[in-house]
Amino acid sequence: MQFSELALYLEKLEKTSSRLEITRILSELFEATTSAEVDKIVYLSLGILAPNYEGVLLNLAEKMMIRTLALAFNKSADEVKSLYKKSGDLGDTAEELSQSTVHPSQFTVTDVYEKLLDIAKDNGEGSQERKIEMTSSLLKNLDSLSVRFVARIPVGKLRLGFSEKTIIEALGISDTEYNIYPDIGHIAYLTKTNNLKNIKPKIGVPVVPMLAARLNSTTEMVAKMGQVSVEPKFDGLRIFIHFKRKDNIVKIFTRNMNSIPLETFPELLGVGKFIKAEEVILDSEAIGIDPTSPRLRGAGVFLDFQKTIQRRRKHNIKKTAGEIPLQFQIFDVLLLNGKSLINEPYINRRMELEKIIIGGSLLRVDENTVTKDPEIIKEMHKKYLKMGLEGVVVKKANGKYVSGRTGWNWVKMKEEEGQSGRLSDTLDCIVMGYFTGKGKRAQFGLGKILVGIKDGDVIRTLTKVGTGLTEAMLVEIKNRLNKLQSKEKPKEYEAQKDLIPDVWAVPSLVIEVTADSISKSTKHSLGLSLRFPRFLRIREDKGAGDATTLGELIWWPYFSAKYGLAFVGLLLPASLIQFFVNREVSRYTAITGKGIWSGFLSLGKYFTYPLFLLCFVNFLWLGGYASAGGTALFELTRFPLSFSDRGGTLFWSYILIIGFSGIFLFSKIIYKSLENFMKVVSAITVLGLIFSAFQPEVRVFAGEFFKYFFNPLSIRWPTTWEASDSSHLVTAIAFAGMGGFLNLLYSYWMKDKGVGMAKYTSKVKGLLIKEEEEVEEEKDLVFADTEENKIMWKGWIKFLNFDSLLAVTINAITAGLTTLLAFAILFPKGIFPTGWKITVVQAQFFESSLGYWGRILFLLVASAFMIDTWVGLTDGVARQFADFTYKVRKLGKSFRFWYYFWLGFLILTSLITITLAQPGVLITIIGVISIFAFVLYIPALWYLNYIKLPQEYPVFIKPKKWESVTLLLTWIFYLAIAAGYLWTVF
DNA sequence: TCTGATGCGTC
DNA sequence: GTCGGAC
DNA sequence: GTCCGACGACGCATCAGA
């Protein structure tokens, strides 16, 4: 057949949209074809030269075709490009160009096919030029209509409205043969020559894979499929393994029926050792495993898709295979010892699988749950998401292996019911410009849009979006953007050169976008991008100034990361400034030997009573620390299995609280045991954080990070501000250096440490420790103005400064490191921890550097850290309260009585309050109140230490002038924060 | 020998 | 991979 | 429900050209 004749058919096909009509025309075409050419016609009309698994590639596509057309029709590449922009189709462009030239010779279909095959075969040095020349001479010798279609073939876009399925229908056959012998050209040939007979899957020939439809309602699943098998969905590569023991044949195919050379996955060379059968075809998902993780019962820790895909390579295989070992999650068997299992019910196929697979670190049969209960599907879905997997695949229990996505046999579910993407929040992005569409989209003049996010004053590209747009929306957006059109790139935009849209738009239009996850990007100027982005809607209510900023993309586990770099600059001053408060608190105790509340009380009840009330309310919520520890333990143990996050957290929190309350009973000097325990826990935490921070993936971010860390002046505030944001920010500032009422605890720890005059007062001991002498209220210990005392005083002050500075510095370091890690690890992955998840997510810091055991270690340390904080606070607060009540009302009870009274009260309160809210919320309450506490009591500290005590004690204890200046500045700092907070909230 | 452009294939 | 349009 | 064709990010391979 002359190619020109085929072209007439193709033109007719292109014009018709009805599939019935297309099918009719195709059968007419096949009727008119000889059996010798039918395969070539089929291939060419699909834009291919051979079935995928033969790996015939032209290596000539869009850009090269533009050059080809320029060469063939004597135009400049720019001229071709601009025509292409307009038509959106290189075939149409080629046709248009070819009309002005003569086409001397004619080619048959076979001629064209063979010439293209020659082009495909060429490679090596100079091949690009030769390919272009060959293609160009082919086009020059065809009539214009043929040129249209031949030019489209290399680009792989025939746009005729049909593909394999329709061809099969046109051939008048069922798809069963094609599905197990997916060479459409050969099938057409066999049909034409009446040789198509029943065949079965064959080793070395791929099977068209069965795909999962999507549904995110579990009840619908059960309604459609009845009894189902629920299985994890891994984020790896779909791999078919063909194995024949005789001659040790191993062949591998992908989802698209491409064959992969066995050298790519050397671990499969010896796969026969793990298969108890002579001959099998297995369906599986290959997924990379973290080689540093221990393999518990053979199972490893999964790497993400980006890592796994690196295994698909030709070079450096050995090294990469060591870094990214693959685990094959097997879930189906299609051929077993010569018998096709395709028509067996799924459950039976699985039973066979379990018999023949020797599970280990190479092959593993997916775990599954057979059920009819939508709730159980939901539970499994939740569980697998928690394990870091993609979701679930739900399979009809008695379904056959049906190639393609037809019917409700396999169903996948990624996101929660009712959600549109797996990202926890949708993003509001600024539309930076648009690209003219290709093919069908060309008529709308817009095919996709370039979208970005504000990063300070600059707007950086995040992703292109082209899916999710209806045709009406294409038009709508185009019209809007034309009004916002800008000849040049707006100067606040930053975009790399292969991301220049056809039309720039001034920042104004905001759209809502969703996606599955956030990935690191080298292509987009933001350094991040979206996996599977899709358009949701135009945000009519938002202008460019309201769009999501870079800072809003993360939520620092310690309340700060939500503002990303914008917050970082505040961190260092916020942690260090508390030094001045700590120092005054401890100074008072060192001089008088008394707790700080005694000092406040000496100032009068009208000041102290309200302050105490505030303090009292504040510490009702300290159970938040215990429940944060509980979250970590629940995550670690996953026990009790059936409990929700909340239930499990409460369960472990109660165990922790009750367990650790023992310290109060048995400890000789409570402060000592707390501090020793804390030392160990802190050391592990800090070392782990430092170690994690030195991992290469974190180091990359360090430069950028520290620039902001040490230069608070470069803080860029997020443009949107919600009341809850203010609370988080204020809390972060308060906690950066352990602030608010917590600073007052210093006084009591100093007392127990016996610093200064406190060494002459008694210490609080455990309830069950026999006490020779009752702990009493402190005596008034005033020392004389002697040279000896002066020297002693200098020593105390040195110690106080050192101790306070040490505490503040450690806080600053941990806070800084955690922010860095959040920025480097959580941010790129798009993990925004909230509520119960805060502690758990931080485990990823350790996991990223120390692997599986790092995670375990972190969760253990985190729970220890949190419960220890709770114990420490409960003890300290009980003393504050006891100090206060003992002094205020002489009820005839001892200090020790009041201490244990408040201890009991606080433990009880913790047990109750942790049921009311998540740990994050509880801790936020403490943080916000703390800021106001500073404003109230810093002046009181000043009065006590700078005015009152110098009147009663020797003059040498009077602080220096500049010290009162630092205290004043500190007070102003907190005053400003508190005022700012009130201002944004109200 | 390195880098950018282009193509192809995975999800 | 996601999504919308045509049938 | 089915099929088709718009569109996404990103990793590796190859070739051209500095």
What is the average pLDDT across A945-962? 90
Name which of A391, A389, A390, A394 is nearest A374 in CA terms: A394
Q: Is A143 exposed, middle or buried (0-12, 13-18, 19+ CB in 10 A)?
A: middle
Q: Could you read off the pLDDT of A533-545 as tens digits, one per residue?
A: 999 988 877 666 5
H or E element: which one contains A503? strand A503-505
Low-confidence winner among A162-176, A388-402, A711-725 (lowest mean pLDDT): A711-725
What is the average pLDDT across A891-909? 86
Low-confidence winner among A649-663, A702-716, A843-857 (lowest mean pLDDT): A702-716
**Which pLDDT does position A848 carry in this prediction?**
59
Does residue A470 lie within 7 Å of nucleic acid chain C, judged by its CB?
A: yes
Separation between the CA of A342 and the C1’ of B10 (whole angstroms): 26
A471 closest-nt by C1' vs CA: C4
Q: Which is more confidently placed, A562 or A751?
A: A751
What is the average pLDDT across A63-88? 96
Separation between the CA of A348 and the C1’ of D5 (whole angstroms): 37
Nucleotide D10: nearest residue by CA–C1'? A306
**Which pLDDT does position A264 carry in this prediction?**
97
Q: Is A5 exposed, middle or buried (0-12, 13-18, 19+ CB in 10 A)?
A: middle
Question: Pairing state of beta strands A369-371 and A510-514?
Answer: unpaired
Q: Which is more confidently placed, A576 or A354?
A: A354
Phi/psi for A125 (5° steps) reads -55, 135
What is the average pLDDT across A567-586? 81
User: pLDDT averaged over chain A?
Assistant: 85
Separation between the CA of A310 and the C1’ of B1 (whole angstroms): 24
What is the average pLDDT across A503-507? 94
What is the average pLDDT across A555-565? 40
Does the pLDDT at position A146 exceed 50?
A: yes
Q: Which is more confidently placed, A941 or A527?
A: A941
pTM: 0.64
b/e per residue A264-281 (b: at least 16 CB within 10 A): bbebbeebbebbebebbb
**Which pLDDT does position A550 carry in this prediction?**
35
Phi/psi for A470 (5° steps) reads -85, 165
**Which pLDDT does position A558 carry in this prediction?**
34
**Which pLDDT does position A895 carry in this prediction?**
82
**Which pLDDT does position A824 carry in this prediction?**
65
Does the pLDDT at position A735 exceed 90?
A: no
Does residue A60 lie within 7 Å of nucleic acid chain B, judged by its CB?
A: yes
Q: What is the distance between the alpha carbons of residues A778 and A603, in angstroms, rounded to a whole number? A: 17
* For the segment 261-300 of chain A, residues whose CB is within 7 A of strand C: none
Query: Which tokens is A432 given?
Result: 């930076």
Report DSSP state, residue A298: T
Query: Which tokens is A18 given?
Result: 């009805």
Q: Which is more confidently placed, A395 or A633?
A: A395
* Confidence at A816, pLDDT banded by 50, 70, 90: confident
> Omega before A954 cis (within 30°)?
no
Does the pLDDT at position A116 exceed 90?
A: yes
Share of chain A above pLDDT 70, in %: 86
Does residue A516 lie within 7 Å of nucleic acid chain C, judged by its CB?
A: yes
What is the average pLDDT across A352-373? 91
Query: Which tokens is A592 given?
Result: 């008088």
Does residue A235 lie within 7 Å of nucleic acid chain B, judged by its CB?
A: yes
**Which pLDDT does position A775 carry in this prediction?**
52
Does the pLDDT at position A40 exceed 90?
A: yes
What is the average pLDDT across A293-297? 54
**Which pLDDT does position A821 carry in this prediction?**
75
Total residue length of chain A: 986
Residue that is written with structure tokens 């080298």 in the block: A522
* Confidence at A708, pLDDT banded by 50, 70, 90: low
Does residue A714 lie within 7 Å of nucleic acid chain C, judged by its CB?
A: no
A65 closest-nt by C1' vs CA: B6
Name which of A571, A575, A568 is nearest A824 in CA terms: A568
> Omega before A640 cis (within 30°)?
yes
Separation between the CA of A815 and the C1’ of D18 (whole angstroms): 47
Nucleotides of C under 7 A from a protein CB: 1-7
At CA A651, angle to CA A649 and CA A657, rounded to 5? 95
Separation between the CA of A436 and the C1’ of C4 (whole angstroms): 18
Low-confidence winner among A57-66, A676-685, A963-972 (lowest mean pLDDT): A676-685
Does the pLDDT at position A747 exceed 50?
A: yes
Active site residues of A: 233
Residue that is written with structure tokens 């606080």 in the block: A906
Q: Which is more confidently placed, A557 or A144?
A: A144
**Which pLDDT does position A669 carry in this prediction?**
67
Q: Do residues A707 and A716 touch, judged by C-beta distance below 8 A?
A: no
* Confidence at A141, pLDDT banded by 50, 70, 90: very high
What is the average pLDDT across A608-624? 89
Does residue A396 lie within 7 Å of nucleic acid chain C, judged by its CB?
A: no
Q: What is the distance between the alpha carbons of residues A268 and A251, in angstroms, rounded to a whole number? A: 9
Q: What is the distance between the alpha carbons of residues A506 and A457, in angstroms, rounded to a whole number? A: 14
Domains (ranges, CATH) in chain A? 3-193 (1.10.3260.10), 213-413 (3.30.470.30), 427-538 (2.40.50.140), 554-582+624-769+782-836+862-941+962-985 (no CATH)
Name which of A185, A190, A191, A196 is nearest A42 in CA terms: A185
Low-confidence winner among A9-23, A27-41, A564-578 (lowest mean pLDDT): A564-578
